[in-house]
Chains A and B, each alone.
Chain A
Amino acid sequence: ETGVTQSPTHLIKTRGQQVTLRCSSQSGHNTVSWYQQALGQGPQFIFQYYREEENGRGNFPPRFSGLQFPNYSSELNVNALELDDSALYLCASSLDGSSYEQYFGPGTRLTVT
């Protein structure tokens, strides 16, 4: 059984650019949630995807968007990057649209300059 994986590990982008982060869910899990963790803060919920549909969204602007694929892997896309988007982006997989038992990946560290 493979755990949650994320790619890339680190990424440096320039303000105004676009970025795509990827997440492979744990085997058997059909739900992926994305979180933003700024330095020194707890994770903040961005959105969740369940069976390829958005299943809830936190307080993030529309330039944060996502996708979930038939194999339940997921992408997080961020357009028009801002300096404040610099953070660790975590994805977590779980079963059936819940967050009762989430398994987190190691995260992608995004730096916007």
Chain B
Amino acid sequence: AQSVTQPDIHITVSEGASLELRCNYSYGATPYLFWYVQSPGQGLQLLLKYFSGDTLVQGIKGFEAEFKRSQSSFNLRKPSVHWSDAAEYFCASRYNNNDMRFGAGTRLTVKP
């Protein structure tokens, strides 16, 4: 069955430091992959998505993600984290046209 794993429940980084959030998926074919961000009391906002083509995807707010088929991974990166990036981050994959599977999320804390 399709699933998404985010190995890190909580990550703390210093402001200005680089960030990488890990995501692994299990699916026979290449899935459609997404990263969402959720601030407290808010809904989810789409950061970026991968369907096909270039494996390095640029998103909003300076985020990027790289699809690596050999590792079944779709890790999210940002070169320099800002305090406003503190939030919960969810990786998701699309199973069929309407069934999105989400990981359990990674909570990002940013130290001043």
Interface residues of A (CB under 8 A from B): 4, 33, 35, 40-45, 48, 50, 55-56, 58, 90, 92, 97-107
Does more than half of chain A's interface fall in helix, strand or loop, or is it mixed? loop
A56 contacts B90, C-beta separation under 8 Å = no
Offer 16 A-B interface pairs, CB within 8 angstroms, sorted by A. A4-B43, A41-B105, A42-B102, A42-B103, A43-B44, A55-B97, A55-B98, A58-B99, A90-B43, A100-B32, A100-B49, A100-B94, A101-B49, A102-B100, A103-B46, A104-B44
B42 contacts A99, C-beta separation under 8 Å = no
Distance A41 CA – B9 CA, assembled complex (angstroms): 10
Distance A4 CA – B46 CA, assembled complex (angstroms): 14
B41 contacts A41, C-beta separation under 8 Å = no
A33 contacts B100, C-beta separation under 8 Å = yes
Q: Which residues of A contact B103 (CB under 8 A)?
A: 42
- The chain A residue sitting closest to B51, CB to CB, is A100
Distance A44 CA – B2 CA, assembled complex (angstroms): 13
B100 contacts A104, C-beta separation under 8 Å = no
Q: How far is the CB of B49 from chain A (nearest CB, A)?
A: 7
Contact flag A41-B104 (CB < 8 Å), given A4-B43, A106-B43: yes
Contact flag A45-B99 (CB < 8 Å), given A40-B104, A102-B46, A106-B43: yes
B104 contacts A33, C-beta separation under 8 Å = no
Q: Which residues of A contact B14 (CB under 8 A)?
A: none
* Residue B70 CB within 8 A of the other chain: no
Distance A99 CA – B104 CA, assembled complex (angstroms): 19
Of A43, A90, A97, which one neighbours B98 at CB under 8 angstroms? A97
